[in-house]
Amino acid sequence: MISNRFFEERQKAYSWAPAGKNALIIFVFAFIVFFCFSSCSKSDHRKRPLAAQGLLDLRSWDFEKDGIVELNGDWQFYPNQLLRSADFRENQSFALIKVPGSWDNFELNGRKIGVTGYATYRLQIQLVDRLPYQLGLRLLLIDSAYELEINGKLIYKNGKVGRDAADSMLSKSHGKVLLPLNSNSYEIVLRVSDYHYHEDGGIVYPILIGSMESLDQEEINEAYIEWFLIGILSIMGIYHLGLYFIRRNDTSPLWFGIFSLIMALRAMLTGSGFLYSISPVDIQWLMHKIEYLTFYFSVSFFVMYGYRLFTEEFHQAAIRLGIIISILFSLVVVFTPVIVYSGSLFWFQIFTFIIGVYTIACVAFAVRRKREGSVLFLAAWILFFAAVLNDILNSQLIIDTGVYFHFGFIAFIFLQSYLLSRKFSNAFTTVEKQSLELSRLASVKDEFLANLSHELRTPLTAIYAYSEMFENNNNPADLKEYGREIYSNSEKLISYMDDLMLLTRMESDIDLSKSGTDIREIISENIYKLSKLAAEKNISIQFHAGVVNEIQANKKYMSKAIHAVIKNAVVYNKENGTVIVSAQNDISMLKITVSDTGIGMAARHLPLIFDRFYRVDSSDTYEVSGVGVGLFLAKKIIEMHGGSISVKSEMDRGSEFTVRLPVE
Ligand code: ADP
Check residue 271 and give its pLDDT.
Answer: 78
Q: Whose CA is closest to atom 11 on ligand 1?
A: 615
pLDDT of 331 over the 60 cut: yes
Nearest to 144 by CA among 190, 96, 98: 190
Check residue 427 and give its pLDDT.
Answer: 83
- Bigger pLDDT: 27 or 58? 58
Q: What is the mean pLDDT of the chain?
A: 85
pLDDT of 457 over the 70 cut: yes
CA gap 50, 650 in Å, rounded: 82
Check residue 596 and give its pLDDT.
Answer: 97
Could you give phi then psi for residue 478, rounded to 5 degrees? -65, -40
- Residues 270-284 have a mean pLDDT of 82
Q: Is the CB of 616 under 6 A from ligand 1?
A: yes
pLDDT band at 7 (very low <50, low <70, confident <90, very high): very low
Cα 582 to ligand 1 centre (Å):
20
- Residues 105-121 have a mean pLDDT of 87
Q: What distances in angstroms separate CA 348 from CA 98, 269, 330, 482, 556, one per listed residue?
A: 25, 18, 10, 95, 74
Percent of the chain with pLDDT over 90: 43
The pLDDT tens digits of the residues spanning 402-424 come to 667 777 888 888 888 888 888 88
* Type of residue found at 119: A
Nearest to 573 by CA among 603, 538, 522: 538
CA gap 446, 452 in Å, rounded: 10
Nearest to 649 by CA among 597, 576, 608: 597
Check residue 12 and give its pLDDT.
Answer: 40
Check residue 281 and give its pLDDT.
Answer: 76
Cα 515 to ligand 1 centre (Å):
29
pLDDT of 273 over the 90 cut: no
pLDDT of 630 over the 80 cut: yes
Q: What is the DSSP letter of 595?
A: E
Check residue 16 and give its pLDDT.
Answer: 37
Q: Is the CB of 630 under 6 A from ligand 1?
A: yes
pLDDT of 254 over the 90 cut: yes
Check residue 264 and give its pLDDT.
Answer: 93
Q: Whose CA is closest to atom 14 on ligand 1?
A: 615
Query: Inter-axis angle of helices 252-269 and 284-309, to 10 degrees?
Result: 150
pLDDT of 112 over the 90 cut: no
Check residue 354 and give its pLDDT.
Answer: 92
Check residue 33 and give its pLDDT.
Answer: 53
Residues 6+ away with beta carbon under 8 Å from 185: 124, 125, 126, 127
Cα angle for residues 92, 96, 102 (degrees, 5° grid): 140
Cα 567 to ligand 1 centre (Å):
9
Check residue 35 and give its pLDDT.
Answer: 57
H helices within 473-536, ranges in order?
Answer: 476-507, 519-536
pLDDT of 14 over the 60 cut: no
Q: Is the CB of 71 under 6 A from ligand 1?
A: no
- Bigger pLDDT: 555 or 503? 555
Check residue 43 and give its pLDDT.
Answer: 43
